[in-house]
Amino acid sequence: MSTLAASSDRADRRVPNQAGDRAVGLWLLSVAVMIFAMAVIGAITRLTESGLSIMEWAPISGTLPPLSHDEWERLFALYKTIPEYQQINRGMSLADFKEIFWWEWIHRLWGRLIGAVFAGGFLILLFRRKISRALTPHLIAMFALGGLQGLVGWYMVASGFAERTDVSQYRLAAHLGLALAIYAYVLWITFGLLAPAPAQSDGARALRTGLRAFAGLLAATILAGALVAGINAGLTYNTFPKMAGEWVPSGYWIREPTWANPFENPAAVQFNHRVLAVLTVITALGLWGWARTRPLAATARRAFDLLALAALGQLGLGIWTLLWVVPVWLGAAHQAGALTLLALTVWALTRLSPTSNTPTPARG
């Protein structure tokens, strides 16, 4: 995401903003909304421990759910061969299996639907000559990243088939990180098409740099949250602000090898996420205060107002989720809050464009 932010000045000049681009912008906005929903569904899939219920990679035939009792039994038999069933869910009934199966199936189906909406919309708009030459490389890159995301998702799921009772937290973080990058990329182009930013004075340049740094901090915080989810670290130390009465958990470095603690030790992983979350909020408030001192357009000021409010709300939601020991609905809401904060960060970046977006007449 920080790479995306760093290329903001160039992107403003590459992507045209014409009245005719409204159709493209609305199409991409629908894709972004679907990605938002996909990430929330993915959070529910993780929180309900449903991710390993489908052990087959079937991009075409997997579109349909099991349509017979024999097919359900076959898939259930496959699930019984993995450590998650043998060590955690042994004795699970077919009815219980169906409950976790449906979340994973919906998650995968939604990914297919995103691909269909993207590909279908692209072809229709291309046929109607609504897609500019400047925009075409971005759309091709988005489609390629979407295909890569499907492969990364399967790579993540496969990590839980052999020796683990869960997916690798590293692969989970990679899967979420790529989803966030695609989401931010789509939003960046969408906002440029639907709401070109007014020109800003050179005084906004330093603020843009600060906002890009904030984007990197936010990305790190969200990825740290993925590690928390990956090793169920949110189910421990359910107090705030201290952890078991300590500001820094005494078991932070208890694991061997030492380097693995920040990634594999629940105490360390949760502590890191807490610290990053607080720093994210402090930085958001600092940027808001800084923006109040700059001669910005009204839309840019409003973007920083919303960013600060969203950061505070997300911190409160995270604390609530922790204190209540991560109920599924709160965990999903916390994921939605992160996506909202990311969207507002991208919006704020587009409001600080150094130059107005000049219409480009060239069409493909």
pLDDT higher than threshold 60 for residue 358 = no
* Cβ-based burial of 56 (10 A; exposed 0-12, middle 13-18, buried ≥19): exposed
| 88 within some domain | yes
Residue pair 17/192 in contact (Cβ under 8 Å)? The answer is yes
pLDDT 10s digits, 66-113:
999 999 999 999 999 999 999 999 999 999 999 999 999 999 999 999
pLDDT higher than threshold 70 for residue 18 = no
**CA 114 from centroid of its chain's CA atoms:** 15
Residue in 51, 60, 165 with CA at minimum distance from that of residue 116 = 60
Average pLDDT of the residues in 188-192 = 95
One domain for residues 169 and 224: no
- Domain end (from 157, 172, 195): 195
- What is the predicted pLDDT for the residue at 200? 63
- Domain end (from 195, 217, 243): 195
Q: Which domain holds residue 271?
A: 199-357
- What is the predicted pLDDT for the residue at 20? 52
pLDDT higher than threshold 50 for residue 8 = no
One domain for residues 117 and 260: no
One domain for residues 346 and 223: yes
Q: How many domains are there within the chain?
A: 2
User: At 9, which amino acid appears?
Assistant: D
| 32 within some domain | yes
One domain for residues 133 and 270: no
Residue pair 295/261 in contact (Cβ under 8 Å)? The answer is no
One domain for residues 109 and 184: yes
| 10 within some domain | no
| 9 within some domain | no
User: At 62, which amino acid appears?
Assistant: G
Residue in 164, 154, 129 with CA at minimum distance from that of residue 361 = 129
- What is the predicted pLDDT for the residue at 202? 63
Handedness of CA 82, 85, 86, 87 (dihedral sign): positive
- What is the predicted pLDDT for the residue at 118? 98
One domain for residues 188 and 300: no
- What is the predicted pLDDT for the residue at 220? 98
Distance between CA 234 and CA 54 in Å, rounded? Answer: 25
Tell me the pLDDT band of 205, cut-offs 50, 70 and 90: confident
One domain for residues 132 and 267: no
pLDDT higher than threshold 80 for residue 345 = yes
Distance between CA 255 and CA 266 in Å, rounded? Answer: 10
Average pLDDT of the residues in 337-347 = 98
| 7 within some domain | no
Q: Is residue 273 part of an annotated ligand binding site? A: yes
Q: Lowest-confidence range among 88-102, 185-199, 218-232, 334-348?
A: 185-199
| 13 within some domain | no
Distance between CA 329 and CA 229 in Å, rounded? Answer: 14
One domain for residues 213 and 302: yes
The two three-digit tokens of residue 120, written as one number: 């279908």
Average pLDDT of the residues in 223-228 = 98
pLDDT higher than threshold 50 for residue 55 = yes
Q: In angstroms, what CA-CA distances link 66 with 70, 85, 95, 237?
A: 9, 20, 13, 40
pTM: 0.90
One domain for residues 182 and 288: no
One domain for residues 245 and 340: yes
pLDDT higher than threshold 50 for residue 171 = yes
Distance between CA 240 and CA 277 in Å, rounded? Answer: 13
Tell me the pLDDT band of 363, cut-offs 50, 70 and 90: very low
The two three-digit tokens of residue 202, written as one number: 């050179």
Distance between CA 285 and CA 292 in Å, rounded? Answer: 11
| 5 within some domain | no
One domain for residues 134 and 41: yes
- Domain end (from 129, 162, 195): 195
Distance between CA 192 and CA 184 in Å, rounded? Answer: 12
Tell me the pLDDT band of 19, cut-offs 50, 70 and 90: very low
pLDDT 10s digits, 273-314:
999 999 999 999 999 999 999 888 888 999 999 999 999 999
| 2 within some domain | no
One domain for residues 183 and 203: no
